[in-house]
Structure 1
Amino acid sequence: MTEEIIIAGFGGQGVLSMGKILAYSGIMQDQEVSWMPSYGPEMRGGTANVTVIISDERISSPVLTRFDTAIILNQQSMDKFESQVKPGGTLIYDPNGITHHPTRQDINIYRIEGARLAAESGNPKIFNMIILGGFLKVKPIVKIENVEKGLQKSLPPRHHNLIPMNIEAIQTGMNHIETANQL
């Protein structure tokens, strides 16, 4: 099993954190992992993406041009990465701010209203964990107990009290992802 993932959006949406947590979760599951971030010089508002590869075999290169899964959180990323999902692959997106929805017919498309759900919860910081939960519902490549361990590894100890809230946000995402199309 090898899953090649791109997570892309604006800086400040938790794109890199989501990738880091996913990568640590893979490590906790004794998988081979690659985590390669890419971001602009802006602190917030610039584009950011991260490539995560989780595999039970050695990973030859972290550099990818095609992906099994794309998690898209803004229009710029949709424009750039929709075409780079492998045929038969998966695209997951938050429709907030998306003006041109995905149109490909050869991939599985899912939508999750992470921004709305996070706002309704009163905590917009859990946005990325809601999205991660949606992804894990569609592609359960790591177990939730390993995600919890991944959170412990990636969050500083002073924020470990937030882990239960993050796990709850992941469950919310799992319960709210919906199919936008099916192959």
Structure 2
Amino acid sequence: MVHEIILAGFGGQGILMAGKLLAYAGMLDGKHVSWLPSYGPEMRGGTANSSVVISDRPVDSPVLYSCNELIVMNRPSLDKFENLVEEGGVIVMDSSIVDRDVKRGDIESFKVPATKMASEMGNMAFANIILLGKLIKERKTVTVDNLEKALYEVLPEKKRNLIPMEIKALKTGMEYI
């Protein structure tokens, strides 16, 4: 199985961190992985995206021209990346911010009000983790246990106190219907 994932949104939404978490969890799952972050010079408020490949076989290239899984946290990202999702793929979007539906009928889409849910949890920075939770539940991209372990490896020391809430956010996303 090959998971080719693009995560996209505004800088500051945790897009690069979410991609790094997925890649690290994939590595812990014993898979071959690549992680390619990309962001504009503005970073905060500019666009950011991250390409992740998690595969049973070696990854040929970290550059993705199409994907089978897409997480979008803003409308410009949906507009830009929707057509890159392969038939039968999935889009998980933050419906608190993305103000339109997916136009295609050959893919699955899930609307999760992640920013609103994260705000209700007391920290809007959890929105990316909520969306990861939904993706993992729907596509089995990585194991939950290894994503939780990846939090301890990827988050900087000063943010590790947030890990119990990050895990709660992950499970909140997984439980969202």
Q: TM-score range by the shorter chain?
A: over 0.9
Provide the residue aligned with 1:16 in structure 2. 16
Provide the residue aligned with 2:163 in structure 1. 163
Runs of 4+ deviating beyond 3 Å:
none
Provide the residue aligned with 1:50 in structure 2. 50
Provide the residue aligned with 1:90 in structure 2. 90
> Runs of 5+ in structure 2 lacking a partner?
none
- Measure, in 1, the Cα distance between the counterparts of 2:65 and 2:33: 17
Q: Secondary structure at the match of 1:110?
A: strand
Instruction: Give TM-score scaled by structure 1 length.
Output: 0.93
Provide the residue aligned with 1:41 in structure 2. 41
Deviates more, 1:120-129 or 1:46-55: 120-129
- Measure, in 2, the Cα distance between the counterparts of 1:156 and 1:98: 29
Percent of counterpart pairs with the same letter?
46
Q: Secondary structure at the match of 1:13?
A: coil
Q: Deviations over 1:82-131 (max 9, x none)?
A: 01100111111111232332110011111111011011112112111111
Q: Secondary structure at the match of 1:6?
A: strand
Q: What amino acid is aligned across from residue 2 of structure 2 in structure 1?
A: T
Contact conserved, 2:6 with 2:70, CA < 8 A, in 1? yes
Provide the residue aligned with 2:66 in structure 1. 66
State the shift of 1:64 in Å.
Answer: 1.3
Provide the residue aligned with 2:6 in structure 1. 6
Provide the residue aligned with 2:106 in structure 1. 106
Across the two proteins, how many residue pairs are aligned to each other? 177
- Measure, in 2, the Cα distance between the counterparts of 1:175 and 1:35: 27
Instruction: Give TM-score scaled by structure 2 length.
Output: 0.96
Provide the residue aligned with 1:147 in structure 2. 147
- Measure, in 2, the Cα distance between the counterparts of 1:156 and 1:12: 16
Contact conserved, 2:135 with 2:141, CA < 8 A, in 1? no
Provide the residue aligned with 1:181 in structure 2. none
> Runs of 5+ in structure 1 lacking a partner?
179-183
Q: Deviations over 1:137-170 (max 9, x none)?
A: 1111211111121111101233322221111110
- Measure, in 2, the Cα distance between the counterparts of 1:18 and 1:4: 14
Q: Secondary structure at the match of 1:33?
A: strand
